[in-house]
Amino acid sequence: MATTTPTALGARKPLWTRLPIVSHYRMSAGLQRGMLVAGLVLSAVFLLTALLAPVLAPFGFSQLSDAQGNFPTQEPPGDKFLWGTTVSGFDVYSRTLWGAQTAVAVIVVAVVFSIFLGVILGLISGYIGGWLDRVLVVLADAIYAFPSLLLAIVMSIVISQGQSSLWGGIMAAAISITVVFIPQYFRVIRAETVRLKAEPFVESAKVVGASNVRIMAKHIFRNATRSLPLIFTLNASEALLTLAGLGFLGFGIEPTKAAEWGFDLNRALSDASSGIWWTGVFPGAAIVLTVLGLTLVGESMNDLADPRLRMRRKAKRRGGKATA
Amino acid sequence: MNAHRRDVIGRADGTVLEIKDLEVTFTTDAGEVPAVRGVGFEVAAGEVVAVVGESGSGKSVTARTILGLLAETAVARGAVVLKGSNMLTLGARELRAVRGDEVSMVFQEPSTALNPVYTVGWQIAEGIRAHGKVGRKEAKARAIEVLRKVGIPEPEKRVNYYPHQFSGGQKQRVIIAAALALNPALIVADEPTTALDVTVQAEILELLREVRDDFNTGIVLITHNMGVVADLADRVVVMYQGKIVESAPSSELFAAPREDYTKALLAAVPHLGRHSASEGMVERSGQGKEVLVEARNLSIVYPGRLGTPSFTAVDDVSLHICAGEVYGLVGESGSGKTTIGRAIAGLNKVSAGSLKVFGYEMLDFRERTFKKLRQDIGFVFQDPAASFNPQLSIGECVAEPLLVHKALDARAARRRVDELLEAVQLPAAFAARFPHELSGGQRQRASLARALALDPKLLIADEPTSALDVSVQAKVLELFKELQAELGFAALFISHDLAVVDMLSTWVGVLYRGKLVEEGIGNQVMGDPQHPYTRRLIASLPVPDPVEQALRREAFLKAV
Look at the alpha carbons of B114, B118, B124, B128 in this order and tell me if their dihedral is positive or negative: negative
Rounded-to-10 torsion of CA A203, A206, A210, A211: 110
B443 at A interface, C-beta within 8 A: no
Q: What would the pLDDT profile of A134-148 be if each residue is shown by its tens digit?
A: 999 999 888 888 777
DSSP string, B82-118: ETTEETTT--HHHHHHHBTTTEEEE-S-HHHHS-TTS
Q: What would the pLDDT profile of B418-449 be if each residue is shown by its tens digit?
A: 999 998 888 888 888 888 888 888 888 999 99
Which residue on chain B is closest to A317 by alpha carbon? B75
Contact map slice: A 178-207 vs B, CB within 8 A: 199-201, 203-207
**pLDDT of the residue at B527:** 85
B289 at A interface, C-beta within 8 A: no
Q: What would the pLDDT profile of B20-40 be if each residue is shown by its tens digit?
A: 999 998 887 777 888 899 999
- Nearest Cα of chain A lies from the Cα of B431 at a distance, in angstroms, of 12
Domain layout of chain B by residue ranges: 3-267
More confident residue, B11 or B34: B34
- d(CA A57, CA A116) in angstroms, rounded, equals 34
B442 at A interface, C-beta within 8 A: no
The CATH class of the B3-267 domain is alpha beta
Q: Cβ A223–B390 below 8 Å, yes or no?
A: yes
- Nearest Cα of chain B lies from the Cα of A322 at a distance, in angstroms, of 5
Q: What would the pLDDT profile of B353-399 be if each residue is shown by its tens digit?
A: 999 999 889 888 888 888 888 889 999 988 888 888 888 888 988 99
Give all strands of the β-sheet with B103-106 in edge-to-edge order.
Answer: B103-106, B186-190, B218-223, B48-52, B235-240, B243-249
Please count the CA atoms within 13 angstroms of the CA of B327 that sit on its side-chain side: 27
Residue B70: its chain A contacts at CB < 8 A? 322-324
| Packing angle of the helix pair B440-451, B394-405 (nearest 10 deg) | 10
B57 at A interface, C-beta within 8 A: yes
DSSP string, B288-299: TSPEEEEEEEEE
Q: Closest to A1 (Cβ–Cβ): which among B61, B377, B404?
A: B61
Residue count (chain B): 560
Residue A1: its chain B contacts at CB < 8 A? 60-61, 64, 71
CATH number for region A48-305: 1.10.3720.10
DSSP string, B126-172: HHHHHSS---HHHHHHHHHHHHHHTT-SSHHHHTT--GGGS-HHHHH
Kindly state the average pLDDT of the residues B237-257. Answer: 91
Kindly state the average pLDDT of the residues A260-285. Answer: 82
Instruction: Please say whether the beta carbons of B534 and B329 come within 8 A.
Output: no
More confident residue, B519 or B307: B519
Residue B383: its chain A contacts at CB < 8 A? 200
- Nearest Cα of chain B lies from the Cα of A323 at a distance, in angstroms, of 6
Confidence of residue B236 (pLDDT cuts 50, 70, 90): very high
**pLDDT of the residue at B10:** 39
- Of B352, B325, B357, nearest to B342 by C-alpha is B357
Residue A223: its chain B contacts at CB < 8 A? 389-391
A309 at B interface, C-beta within 8 A: no
Which residue on chain B is closest to A220 by alpha carbon? B389
Contact map slice: B 387-426 vs A, CB within 8 A: 387-392, 397, 400-401, 404-405
Average pLDDT of chain B is: 86
Name B37's bridge partners: B23
CA-based end-to-end distance of chain A: 14
- d(CA A290, CA A97) in angstroms, rounded, equals 12
Residue A4: its chain B contacts at CB < 8 A? 33, 35, 56
Q: Over 50: is that where the pLDDT of A255 sits?
A: yes
- d(CA B206, CA B162) in angstroms, rounded, equals 25
The CA angle A154-A156-A161, to the nearest 5 degrees, is 100
Q: Cβ A323–B90 below 8 Å, yes or no?
A: yes
Q: Closest to B30 (Cβ–Cβ): which among A1, A6, A204?
A: A6
- d(CA A263, CA A259) in angstroms, rounded, equals 8
Which of A280-305 are b and which e, b meaning 16 or more Cβ less than 10 Å from the residue's Cβ?
bbbbbebbeebbebbbbbbbbbbbbb
Which residues contact residue B378 at a Cβ distance below 8 angstroms, ignoring those fewer than 6 apart?
B450, B451, B452, B453, B454, B456, B458, B459, B460, B489
Instruction: Please say whether the beta carbons of B448 and B398 come within 8 A.
Output: no
A12 at B interface, C-beta within 8 A: yes
Q: Cβ A206–B347 below 8 Å, yes or no?
A: yes
The CA angle B500-B503-B506, to the nearest 5 degrees, is 115
Q: How far does Cα B509 stand from its chain's mean position?
A: 20
- d(CA A109, CA A173) in angstroms, rounded, equals 9
Confidence of residue B1 (pLDDT cuts 50, 70, 90): very low
A222 at B interface, C-beta within 8 A: yes
- d(CA B184, CA B177) in angstroms, rounded, equals 11
- Nearest Cα of chain A lies from the Cα of B143 at a distance, in angstroms, of 29
Domain layout of chain A by residue ranges: 48-305
Confidence of residue B191 (pLDDT cuts 50, 70, 90): confident
A217 at B interface, C-beta within 8 A: no
Contact map slice: B 10-29 vs A, CB within 8 A: 23, 25-29
Q: Over 60: is that where the pLDDT of B5 sits?
A: no
**pLDDT of the residue at A4:** 38
- d(CA B114, CA B284) in angstroms, rounded, equals 47
Kindly state the percentage of chain B with pLDDT values over 70. Answer: 97
Q: Cβ B35–A4 below 8 Å, yes or no?
A: yes
A306 at B interface, C-beta within 8 A: no
- d(CA A111, CA A179) in angstroms, rounded, equals 10
Residue A15: its chain B contacts at CB < 8 A? none
- Nearest Cα of chain B lies from the Cα of A236 at a distance, in angstroms, of 27
The ipTM of this complex is 0.74
Q: Over 70: is that where the pLDDT of B207 sits?
A: yes
Q: Closest to B56 (Cβ–Cβ): which among A2, A206, A207?
A: A2
- d(CA B239, CA B444) in angstroms, rounded, equals 24
Instruction: Of A59-73, A307-321, B503-517, give the lowest mean pLDDT range.
Output: A307-321
Highest mean pLDDT among A25-34, A143-152, B2-11, B461-470: B461-470
Confidence of residue A312 (pLDDT cuts 50, 70, 90): low
Which residues contact residue B33 at a Cβ distance below 8 angstroms, ignoring those fewer than 6 apart?
A3, A4, A5, A6, B25, B26, B27
- Of B203, B205, B200, B115, nearest to B162 by C-alpha is B115
Q: Cβ B71–A1 below 8 Å, yes or no?
A: yes
